[in-house]
Every structure is written in C-alpha cells, then in structure tokens.
Structure 1
C-alpha cells in the first residue's frame, strides 16, 4: 500500500489531469489522502467526484482553519496518515503511469538492503513542461543544474530533492511526529531530505517519473539555471534577498539540531550542522572560511558567486 498525500488550494484548472494520472497508475494498491486548505473554486467538487469514482481509496479533509502554506498542509497530512510508504503529490502536475511502481521498486530494494527501521527517502528526475504540458526540458536536474547525488554539506545550503517526486517510508514519517519548529522549516520535502541524509538513506530513480507543470503560480517551480534573464533577476534582487534565504537555511538547520541533535551519532555531521546553524552570528570572513573549509557551496558558478559575494 502506498499513501499519496495531496495538498490542494484553488487547483480547479489542473487538478483533474493530476487525479486522472493517479487513477491510471500501473501500481493500483494506493490510497489518496487530500488536505484542502480553503479552496473557493471548484476544487472540492472535483475531489468529491473523484472520490465517488474511487470510494475506497480517497479521503478528503477540509482544513479549518487553513494552514496557509503547502508546508503546513503536507506536514499535517503526514502526521495524520498511515501506511508503510508515503508519497507527496502537487495539484497541478501529471504523473507518468509507472511513477508509483518505479519509486516503490527503488524503495523496496533499499529496505531489503538496510531494513525498514532505517528512514529512507526516494526521489526521481522529472520532466519540465509548460501549462499546456508542452515539453520544456526532459530532465529537471539538467535544466536547473542540480546535482543528483545528495551530499550533506551541499544539502544544508541547497535542496535538490523535489517534493512531488518523493516517497518516504514509515520510519522517516515517525520523525515528523515530534514537536517540530514549523516556522523554521523551509519546506516539508527539504526537512524530509535532511532526516534521510542524517539518519538514513536517500535513493534516486534516474529517469523522469512525472511532468512538472510550470504555469507562473507554482509554490516553488523549476528555474532554468543557465537562463540569462533568470540569472539577471537573481542578481538584481541583490544582497538583502539572498541573505534572507541564507539566514532561513541556517535557521532551519538550527531547528533541526534542536529537534534531533541528541540522536545524531556521527560527530562530524553533528558539528557541521551545529556550526552552520550558528553561522549567521559570525562575521562574513568567518562565514566564507566555513564555506570553503567544509565545501558548503551551492551548485553552479553563478550560485557560488552570489554565495561568495553575499553569503
């Protein structure tokens, strides 16, 4: 059984296509748990119609009051759902027919190797498409210039795990049942990736399992890392915007250490996380020395340049 967690908010335009792609999966032993965060369009009607078609597989919750963020919605769903495996699902994408099968196959291989008492996360590549599902880039990782291998010293400063491709096992889900520093968590998928990297294993499916629709209103979205217009925009946003993002990443790690620090057995990992979480309070030269010494650097020349200039 795979539990699919879907967060919705005014998603009527693309939601039906996503639901149809779930229903068309080659792996049929799934359940869908939806958290709607106060939709005022036809989202709930679309969901209820899908529930009628799959009465034993679909559960719908209406958040009252709304959480006000995809992060809060997903974390609540994760805390209140059950199953051996969980997948995150966005309302505006389209899954390829074998998405669940391929991801679960990788998950089961890792659980066979390491056991199901180890927190495991599996993610995949994805294809970037426009609002009409026309292909923009076959590979998101090439498009965004992101590394496929997740290293802790890079992960703390740059997340390369895309939530809508993620599957986690029950052991990792249990980490979300603690008292969490929600305001410090950047996104649910980022937090899950940190848990898996520090305490468990991360697996990767090296092929696109879904169509990642870009329409201008994505919560995160795909960015062409080599696009001159995008790079100019990032530079134009300037130091203050970039520093805010860096501070948010440091505060997230500070919250991570505060929540799980006593359980981190690898001393080097603990020191890396603890020191990065406290880095904002250091002078710029100390920060730059830390980045260099620990290779805590973002992927890509422009990203590195901004980190050296403003980090």
Structure 2
C-alpha cells in the first residue's frame, strides 16, 4: 500500500487533471490523503467528487487552522499518516501512468538490499511543462543543471530531490514523528533527503515519471539555470538576497544537528554538519576556506561564482 499525501490550497485550475492521473496509475494499491489549507475556490468540491468515486481510497482533511505553507501542510500530513510507503503529491502536476510502479520497483530493490529498517528515499527525474502541459524540457535535471546523485557535502548547500517525485518508507517517516524545528526546515523534501542521506539511502530513477507544471502560482517551480534572463535576475537580486538563502541553509543544518544530535555524534559526518550549521557566524574567509576544503559547492559555474562572491 502506498499512501499519497496531497497538499491543496485553491487548486481548482489544475487539480482535476492531477487526480485523474492518480486514478489512472498502473499500480492500483494506493490511498490518497489530502490536507486542504483553507481553500476558498472549488478545490474541496473537486476533492469530494473524487472521494465519491473512490470512497475507500480517499480521505480529506480540512486543516483548522490552516498550516500556512506547503511545507507545514506536507509535514503535518506525513506525521499523521499510516502505511509502509508514502509519496508527496502537488495539486497542479500530472503523473505518468507508471509513476508509482517504477518508484515502488526501485524502493523494493533498495529495501531488499539494505533492509526495511533503513530509511530510504527514492526520487525520479521529471518533465517540465507549461500550464497547458506543453513540453518545456524532457528532463528537469538537465533543465535546472542539478546533479542526479548527490554527496552530502553538496546536499547540505543545495537540494536536488524534488518532493513531488519522491517516495519514502516507514523507517524514514519515523524521523518526522519527533518534535521538529519547523522554522528552520526549508522544505519537507529537503529535510527528508537529509535524513535519507545521513541515516539511510537515496535511490534515483533516471527517467521522468511526471509532468511538472509551470504557472504563475507555483510555490517553487523549475528554474532554467542556463537561461541568461534567469541568471541576470539572480544577479539583480544581489548579495543580500543570496546571503539570506545561505543563512537559511545553514540554520536548517543547525536545526538538523539539534534534532538528531545524539544519533549523529558518532558519525563521520557530524563535524561537517555541525561546522556548516554555525558557519555564517565565522566570517567570510572562514566560510570560503570551509567551502574549498570540504567541497561544499553548488552545481554549475554561475552558482559557484555567486557562492564564492556572496556566500
């Protein structure tokens, strides 16, 4: 059984297509748990209609009060979900028919190799499309210039796990059940990736399993890192904006060490994590030496340049 966690908020424009893509999955042993964050459009009506068609597989939760963000909504769903496997689902994408099947196949292979008690996250590539599902890029990883397989020293500064492609097992879910530093977590998928990398394993399916819809209301969205317009925009945002992002990145790792400190202390990665978590208070030269000595660098020449200039 796969429990699909769907966070919704005013998603009536694209939600039907996403729900139909779930219903059309070749892997039929799924259930859908939705958390609605106070939608005031037709979102709840669409969900109710879908539940009428699949009454034994669909559960609707109305968040009262609203959680306030996609991150909080997903973490709330995950903390209250049951099952051996969980997938995150955005309200505006479309899944290919074999998304669950292909992801589960990789998950089962990894659990057979490493054991079901090992926290495991499996993610995939995805195709980037416009609001009308017209193709922008076959591969998100090529489009955004992100590494498909990532080392910890790169992951702490740059996430390459896209949550809407991800499946996690119960062993990983358990790391979300204790008190978490919500204000320091950048996104639910980033935190899950860190847990899997440090305490378990990350698996990757090197093919697109869904269509990642880009439109004006995306909370994150895909960015073409090779597009001159995008690069100029990042440069215009400037040093202060970049530094704020880096501080948040370091605070997230600081929160991670605070949360799981006793489990991490005996690991080789402990000093790397603890030092990075407190790095912003050490001065720019100390930061630059740390980036160089530990290869804590983002992917792509422009990203590296901004990190050296402003990080």
Common topology (TM > 0.5): yes
- Looking at structure 2, the residues matched to 261 and 216 of structure 1 have their Cα atoms a distance apart, in angstroms, of 40
* Structure 2 match to 1:28: 28
Structure 1 residues 180-229: Cα deviation after superposition (integer angstroms, max 9, x where no partner): 00000000000000000000000000000000000021111100010000
* Structure 1 match to 2:239: 239
RMSD over equivalenced CA pairs, Å: 0.6
Q: Secondary structure of the equivalent of 2:33? A: strand
1:269 shift after superposition? 0.6
Structure 1 residues 232-260: Cα deviation after superposition (integer angstroms, max 9, x where no partner): 00000000000000000000000000001
* Structure 2 match to 1:85: 85
* Structure 2 match to 1:208: 208
- Looking at structure 1, the residues matched to 136 and 188 of structure 2 have their Cα atoms a distance apart, in angstroms, of 26
Q: Secondary structure of the equivalent of 1:116? A: coil
| Matched pairs, number | 311
- Looking at structure 1, the residues matched to 213 and 238 of structure 2 have their Cα atoms a distance apart, in angstroms, of 28
**Normalising by the residue count of structure 2, what TM-score does the alignment of the two structures yield?**
0.99
Q: Secondary structure of the equivalent of 1:75? A: helix
1:58-97 superposed matches below 5 A: 58-97=58-97
Query: Which stretches of structure 1, 4 residues or more, deviate above 4 A after TM superposition?
Result: none
Structure 1 residues 117-154: Cα deviation after superposition (integer angstroms, max 9, x where no partner): 00000000000000000000000000000000121000
Structure 1, unpaired ranges of 5+: none
1:91-130 superposed matches below 5 A: 91-130=91-130
1:82 shift after superposition? 0.3
- Looking at structure 1, the residues matched to 155 and 301 of structure 2 have their Cα atoms a distance apart, in angstroms, of 17
Structure 2, unpaired ranges of 5+: none
* Structure 1 match to 2:299: 299
1:1-311 superposed matches below 5 A: 1-264=1-264, 267-311=267-311
Q: Secondary structure of the equivalent of 2:72? A: helix
- Looking at structure 1, the residues matched to 211 and 20 of structure 2 have their Cα atoms a distance apart, in angstroms, of 13
1:262 shift after superposition? 1.1
Change (3 A) 1:265 1:108: farther
Q: Secondary structure of the equivalent of 1:65? A: coil
1:28 shift after superposition? 0.2
